[in-house]
Structure 1
Amino acid sequence: MASNSTTAVDDDGEYEDWVELYNNSSSTLSLDNLYLSDDATDPLMWQFPSGTTIAPDSYLIVWCDKDLTQTGLHADLKFSSNGEDAVLSYDNGTVIESITFGAQTTDMGYARVPNGTGNFVIQAPTFGTNNETLSNSDFELNTDYSIYPNPVNDVINIKTNNGSIDQIALYNLQGQQLISLKFNGEQQSQLDLTNYTQGIYLLTINNQQTVKVIKQ
């Protein structure tokens, strides 16, 4: 996550860059002598503290904010949202992972799908969880409703094709309710998202249908 403004906060309540490591093996993984860097020409930028491990099928979050005095794992580097490198390597020159990513969208993750093995894709962040947690099938819109445009820059339209709209709510990915509107059997409504930051939001209709909305 090279541009984080709303997705997750560190122990000090700050929205910082972060990287997630996943151990897809059945054994505990030791990170002794392992380094993290955002520059392939300088791979030994920040060393994981001695004794750091990742349990089997578990995740580890490293905050990339140069705040070395804060609680938790805070690396002495910050990712550029314009794109750069992400490198994991040992001090003997062995490279575990090295990627070069392009410009990133604020509050969107860059993750391997399928989880831990596939190609990197830009998607909604899955902080400390399976990268496939938010699959498209979880938010498929049934034929009772139409929502457009999506992605949206400003105003999104919600229309019912069967029945009525009685309630609309908008949530961020942390489950915080941002908007709650009630209607009296309307057939169509709008939400103005002009002042909301770029990212993924969850829109619920009548407490029944949940749709993933992308704010550009």
Structure 2
Amino acid sequence: MAELAPAGYVILGLDIIKYSQKSLRDQKLAQETVDRCFNWAIKEKQPEDDAQAPHWVDAGDGGYALFRWAEVDVLEVLKDFYKRLNRENANITEENYKVLVRAAIHKDQVIVWDAEIAGRQVRKFTGHAINNCARLMSGMIKEHDAQVVCSRSVLDAIMVMDKLASATRLKDIKDKHGIEHEVWNLHVGTLLGVKPIKRELHGEPTMRVYPGPSR
């Protein structure tokens, strides 16, 4: 594909919890489990137009899916993914072998293009969207097994379309440039998300409840 102009993508980041503590064999099995559950979840919602197929940026212990879809459709993919992952984990008796995944959703501009590296065509991506999605995940605490967080722009779209969704604002994430990023804990009935604990909540109680004061 030729270089495309910057476009808005919904970025869904997945991170396999305690990935580095697994053996090489179990790391591979964990990746295969995530790939399998995620692939089938996408197929359930995939439009017939192949041009709308999401891109995937691999990170080993997870990765980032780049969607040109509505935020609520990406959320449906995530719900389906967790349903499938929970079913697979239910068949595993040893807790250490279960595959636990946390997720973050963000939206921003991304440029996608093809480049040649070592004689092969590879898909390349650039944009603050991916980095900022990673920052959202970087602030997630270890106590949760399947937490889902998102940025405010994504949350606004989700809350309009999904009547079961609720959100609690967490502490802002400050990046290396000193920029603060608003983070929301996303919860959808019994389908998705976890209840946040006190030490991860935003310091100002009046700002914890959606919609809350906007900057």
The question of a shared fold, defined as TM-score above 0.5 by the shorter chain, is answered with no
**Rg (Cα) greater in structure:** 1
When the two structures are superposed, what TM-score results if normalisation uses the length of structure 1? 0.30
Higher RCO structure (Cα 8 Å, ≥6 apart)? 2
When the two structures are superposed, what TM-score results if normalisation uses the length of structure 2? 0.30
> Structure 1 or 2: larger strand share?
1
